[in-house]
C-alpha cells in the first residue's frame, strides 16, 4: 500500500478543492484554493531551503557549539520568516484584494472603484497578514528548535548528529505548518471578503445583514449560534473601523476575540459585543454574511409566544431570526439522521397505519415540516436548538445540523393537548398561517 505523506495528502486536498470550487463557481473557494497553493508552495520552498542550506550544512565530527546553534537559529528564522513572507507577498496581496473586491461587488452589483476607506482596509489586511506569515516560525516553531538545540549541546552531540536530529524534528513542524497555512488561507479570504462586504452594505444603503453558516455536522457550536442572526450595519462599521485602527495585529485578538458558544447563547443580537459583527468566529470558519433577504409569508414568524417555563436561552433570538432558521429548514430536502431513523423506523413508524415503507416515513416527515402551521422551538437536552413541527397525527423534530431527528406518532384527538403540554417549556412560533 502506498502511504501518502502529509504534504501529498494536502496537495491532493487542494486539487480536489480546486475542482469543487470550479464546479460550484464559488469565487471565494477558488481564491482560497489559490492562496493555499501559493502559501504551501512558498512554505515547501522555504522549508526545503532551510533543510538543505542550514540543517544539512551541519556536518563533521566536531562537537556542536553554542555559536553553531545560534547561527543556525538565525538562519532558520530568516528563511522561514522574512524570506518566506517575501516570497508569497505579491500573490497574497493580489488574492486578498480580489476577495475584498468581489465581496464588495456582490453587494453593490457593479464593478467597484476603491475609495480611501477601501485602501485603508486593504493596507491593514496586508500589514496584518504579512505579520502573521513572518511570525509563524518565531511563535510556533522556534521554541521547539531551540529546545532541541539545547538538548544537543548538553548531550555533547557532534555537528553531524545534531543535524540528523534537527532534520527529523523538523519534519513534524513542517507538517504542522502545512495545516496552519491551509487554515490561514481560509482566514485571509474570510476577513478580506467580509470587509469588502461591509463597504458594500454601506454603499448599497443596507441597514442590516444576516449571518449565514454552512449547516452540517461540521458546523461549530459558535457558528450554529450565530447563524441566522440579523446584525445592524453600524456594528460592522464599528468593528471595521476598530480593526483599521489596531495598533498592531496582536490587538485584533482584543477587538474581535473568538467567543465560546456559552458567551453568546441566549443573548439578543443587539447585546452581542461588536467583535461578533463579522466572521471569522474561529480558525477555519466557513461562515459568511449576506444581505438580509425577506421570506414568504408562510415562513414568517409573526409572533413568539413563550411558555411558563421556557428557558431564557431560547429568548435570545428575535422573531425575524427564528424566521431565518425556519426558512433555511424549509428550503432544503432534509435528511433523516441515520441513527435516529434506524431506531424510529422500528419503534415509531409502524404506529402510522398509512405508512408502509421507510421512504414513505421519511417523505411524510418532510411533508409535515413543509406544511405545519404549529411550530415550537425547544432547547434540547440543555444544549441545542431544535424545531418541532406538528402534523395532524405526529410531531417531527429538526436540529440545527438540518437533520430530522424524529417523527413521532400522536393520536389526532390528543395532538392539541400534547401541543399545549409541550408549549410550557418551549416557544410557539406563530406564522401567518397559525
Ligand atoms: Zn465557523
**Cα gap 106→13, rounded to integer Å:** 28
Per-residue pLDDT at 2 exceeds 60: no
- For residues 303 and 172, the model is more confident at 303
Q: Which residues surround ligand 1, an ion (CB under 5 A)?
A: 220, 223, 281, 285, 287
The reported pLDDT for the residue numbered 262 is: 93
Q: Which pTM value belongs to this model?
A: 0.88
Beta-carbon contacts of 223 under 8 Å, excluding residues fewer than 6 positions away, are: 213, 279, 281, 282, 285, 286, 287
CA of 219 to the centre of ligand 1 (A): 6
- Backbone angles phi and psi of 286, in degrees to 5: -100, 0
| Whole-Å CA distances, 254 to 125, 251, 311 | 17, 5, 31
CA of 271 to the centre of ligand 1 (A): 20
CA of 283 to the centre of ligand 1 (A): 8
CA of 223 to the centre of ligand 1 (A): 5
CA of 119 to the centre of ligand 1 (A): 27
CA of 144 to the centre of ligand 1 (A): 30
Contact 147, 269 (CB under 8 A): no
CA of 229 to the centre of ligand 1 (A): 14
CA of 364 to the centre of ligand 1 (A): 32
Instruction: State the average pLDDT over residues 83-109.
Output: 96
CA of 35 to the centre of ligand 1 (A): 19
**Band of the pLDDT at 432, cuts 50, 70, 90?**
confident
The reported pLDDT for the residue numbered 173 is: 83
Could you give the percent of the chain with pLDDT greater than 70?
A: 95
Across the chain, what does the average pLDDT equal?
A: 93
Domain ranges of the chain: 6-203, 221-291, 304-431
CA of 210 to the centre of ligand 1 (A): 14
**Band of the pLDDT at 21, cuts 50, 70, 90?**
low
The reported pLDDT for the residue numbered 14 is: 67
pLDDT per residue over 22-62, tens digit each? 666 789 999 999 999 999 999 999 999 999 999 999 999 99
CA of 228 to the centre of ligand 1 (A): 13
Angle at 45 between CA 44 and CA 48, to 5 degrees: 85
CA of 379 to the centre of ligand 1 (A): 21
- The secondary element (H helix, E strand) that includes residue 14 is helix 6-24
pLDDT per residue over 298-322, tens digit each? 899 999 999 999 999 999 999 999 9
Q: Could you tell me the three cell numbers for 134?
A: 513572518
Nearest to 188 by CA among 96, 86, 87: 96
Contact 380, 314 (CB under 8 A): no
The reported pLDDT for the residue numbered 292 is: 87
Per-residue pLDDT at 417 exceeds 80: yes
Per-residue buried b or exposed e for 118-157, using 16+ beta carbons within 10 Å of the residue's own CB: bebbbebbbebbbebbbebbeeebbeebeebbeebbeeeb
Contact 137, 76 (CB under 8 A): yes
**Cα gap 81→416, rounded to integer Å:** 67
Amino acid at each position: 500500500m502506498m502511504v501518502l505523506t502529509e504534504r501529498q495528502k494536502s496537495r491532493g486536498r487542494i486539487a480536489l478543492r480546486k475542482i469543487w470550487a470550479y464546479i460550484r463557481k464559488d469565487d471565494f473557494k477558488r481564491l482560497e484554493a489559490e492562496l493555499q497553493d501559493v502559501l504551501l508552495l512558498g512554505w515547501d520552498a522555504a522549508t526545503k531551503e532551510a533543510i538543505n542550506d542550514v540543517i544539512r550544512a551541519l556536518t563533521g565530527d566536531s562537537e556542536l557549539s553554542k555559536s553553531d546553534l545560534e547561527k543556525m537559529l538565525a538562519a532558520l528564522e530568516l528563511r522561514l520568516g522574512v524570506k518566506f513572507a517575501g516570497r508569497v507577498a505579491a500573490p497574497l496581496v493580489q488574492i486578498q484584494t480580489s476577495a475584498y473586491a468581489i465581496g464588495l461587488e456582490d453587494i453593490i452589483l457593479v464593478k467597484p472603484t476603491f475609495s480611501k476607506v477601501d485602501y485603508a482596509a486593504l493596507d491593514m489586511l496586508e500589514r496584518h497578514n504579512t505579520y502573521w506569515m513572518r511570525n509563524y516560525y518565531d511563535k510556533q516553531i522556534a521554541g521547539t528548535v531551540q529546545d532541541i538545540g539545547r538538548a544537543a549541546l548538553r548531550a555533547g552531540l557532534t555537528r553531524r548528529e545534531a543535524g540528523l536530529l534537527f532534520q527529523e524534528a523538523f519534519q513534524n513542524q513542517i507538517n504542522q505548518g502545512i495545516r496552519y497555512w491551509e487554515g490561514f488561507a481560509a482566514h485571509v479570504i474570510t476577513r478580506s471578503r467580509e470587509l469588502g462586504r461591509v463597504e458594500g452594505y454601506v454603499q448599497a444603503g443596507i441597514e442590516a445583514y444576516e449571518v449565514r453558516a454552512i449547516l452540517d455536522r461540521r458546523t461549530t457550536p459558535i457558528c450554529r449560534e450565530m447563524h441566522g442572526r440579523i446584525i445592524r450595519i453600524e456594528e460592522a462599521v464599528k468593528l471595521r473601523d476598530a480593526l483599521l485602527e489596531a495598533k498592531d495585529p496582536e490587538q485584533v485578538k482584543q477587538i474581535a476575540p473568538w467567543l465560546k458558544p456559552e458567551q453568546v447563547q441566549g443573548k439578543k443580537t443587539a447585546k452581542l459585543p461588536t467583535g461578533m459583527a463579522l466572521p471569522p468566529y474561529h480558525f477555519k470558519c466557513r461562515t459568511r454574511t449576506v444581505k438580509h433577504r425577506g421570506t414568504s409569508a408562510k415562513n414568517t414568524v409573526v409572533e413568539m409566544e413563550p411558555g411558563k417555563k421556557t428557558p431564557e436561552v431560547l429568548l435570545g433570538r428575535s422573531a425575524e431570526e427564528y424566521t431565518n432558521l425556519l426558512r433555511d429548514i424549509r428550503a432544503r430536502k432534509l435528511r433523516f439522521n441515520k441513527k435516529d431513523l434506524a431506531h424510529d423506523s422500528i419503534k415509531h413508524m409502524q404506529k402510522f397505519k398509512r405508512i408502509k415503507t421507510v421512504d414513505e416515513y421519511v417523505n411524510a416527515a418532510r411533508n409535515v415540516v413543509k406544511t405545519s402551521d404549529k411550530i415550537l422551538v425547544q432547547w434540547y437536552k440543555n444544549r441545542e436548538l431544535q424545531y418541532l413541527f406538528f402534523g395532524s397525527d405526529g410531531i417531527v423534530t429538526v436540529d440545527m445540523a438540518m437533520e430530522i431527528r424524529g417523527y413521532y406518532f400522536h393520536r389526532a384527538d390528543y395532538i392539541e393537548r400534547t401541543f399545549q403540554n409541550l408549549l410550557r417549556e418551549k416557544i410557539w412560533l406563530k406564522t401567518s398561517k397559525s
